[in-house]
Amino acid sequence: MSTEDHQPIVFILSDSVGETAEFVVRAASSQFNGGHVQVRRIPYVDDEKIISETVQAAAEVKGMIAFTMVITELQEYLHEEARRWSVPVVDIMGPMLEGLSSLFRRQPKREPGLVRKLDEDYFRKVEAIEFAVKYDDGKDPRGLLRADIVLIGVSRTSKTPLSMYLAHKRIKVANVPLVPEVEPPEELFMVPAKKCIGLIIEPDQLNGIRRERLKSLGLAARANYANMERILQELEYSEKVMKRVGCPMIDVSNKAVEETANIILDMFRKGGGQA
């Protein structure tokens, strides 16, 4: 008979994947001479038949059951079956739910799989942030075709801050700076117009923003970057590109990043996107 056959068996019943319960079981079993225990996960439990079969299997091998099911009816049925077959049962989430109910002063939702949904949201956010960094400032035009939203505009129209803000809303954003001397990437004209947003700004405000930027870098405010004639040339060129793309435009003059981002989110949702 193998060593494994002598190991105690813990059956895990979960209405999700059962990772939380397995982690707790293994952490606790480590306190018993190395914690050699067999863990058998039964995920996505949603009916009484699975519970009955698991209880009987646990009874046959003199094992125990740990569970993280949150639906009250299934919990009650499990306890009834466990008593009938004399199988020990441990409710892993119950005490914490009771404690948090007192803390929040309301009852839990008892909706299966919420942790998994939270994890999915988290990883989507991380993925969107990494996307925004990778495809910032036109670094790699291939990203334009994979983006949920493409922002275009001249320098200092908040393209990067907007990309990062929207990334935290789980939206993949690429942005492209428009400069008269540089032809926009051909991929830009392959992006559906409704996915592309042009950022425009009043010349005087852009001039002030660029002057402050030069000052912060210790450069002369008279540099071409903040020259009004140059600014007008850039803005005229950028609007020509935007009209060629056929995208909607947002005037970011005197708007906070959050305000512009909310306008973009509203456009994104109306266009069939999800945020």
Over the chain (275 residues), the average pLDDT of each successive run of 10 is 67 90 91 84 93 97 95 94 97 90 88 70 89 95 96 97 96 97 96 97 96 86 85 97 97 96 94 64
How high is the pLDDT of residue 186?
96
How high is the pLDDT of residue 121?
80
Tell me whether residue 55 is annotated as binding. Answer: no
How high is the pLDDT of residue 112?
75
> Would you state the structure tokens that stand for residue 99, as one six-digit string?
């404690």
How high is the pLDDT of residue 19?
87
pTM: 0.64
**Domain 119-270 part of CATH 3.40.50:** yes
Quickly count: other Cβ atoms within 10 Å of residue 2's Cβ.
6
Tell me whether residue 156 is annotated as binding. Answer: yes
Identity of the residue numbered 172: K
Domain boundaries, the chain: 6-112, 119-270
Residue holding tokens 């935290």?
168
How high is the pLDDT of residue 2?
46
Tell me whether residue 160 is annotated as binding. Answer: yes
How high is the pLDDT of residue 1?
41
How high is the pLDDT of residue 270?
86
Tell me whether residue 257 is annotated as binding. Answer: no
CA distance 261 to 161: 9
Closest by Cα among 109, 202, 189 to 152: 189
Q: Is there a common fold for 6-112 and 119-270?
A: yes
Tell me whether residue 153 is annotated as binding. Answer: yes
Tell me whether residue 20 is annotated as binding. Answer: no
How high is the pLDDT of residue 90?
97
How high is the pLDDT of residue 273?
64
Question: Residue 146 — φ and ψ, nearest 5°?
Answer: -105, -5
C-alpha pair distances (Å), 201 with each of 36, 236, 241, 255: 66, 11, 15, 10
Tell me whether residue 45 is annotated as binding. Answer: no
Tell me whether residue 159 is annotated as binding. Answer: yes
Q: What is the CATH number of domain 6-112?
A: 3.40.50.2300
User: Is the separation of the CB atoms in 21 and 92 below 8 Å?
Assistant: yes
